[in-house]
Amino acid sequence: DKPPPFLIKEESFIETLQISCVAYDPDHLNIVIRDADKPRYEMPHEEPYPHARNPQNISIEESNFEVFVKYDPFDIIITRKTTDEVIFKFTDRFIYTDLYIEFSFDTPTNHIYGFGERLRNLQFNPGTYTLYMLDQSGEIDHGKPGNNQQGHHSMYLMREQSGKYHVNLLRNINAQEIVISKENKVTWKMIGGVIDLNFFLGESPE
List the single range of 89-93, 118-122, 183-187, 202-206 with lowest mean pLDDT.
Answer: 118-122
pLDDT digit string, tens, across residues 174-190:
999 999 998 899 999 99
**0.85 cut: is pTM over it?**
yes
State the Cα–Cα distance between residues 97 and 157, nearest whole angstrom.
28
Whether the CB-CB separation of 187 and 161 falls below 8 Å is answered with no
The count of C-alpha atoms lying within 13 angstroms of the C-alpha of 113, restricted to the half-sphere facing its C-beta, is 12
Query: Phi and psi at residue 80, in whole multiples of 5°?
Result: -80, 120
Q: Are 78 and 67 in contact (CB under 8 A)?
A: yes
Per the prediction, the chain carries an average pLDDT of 89
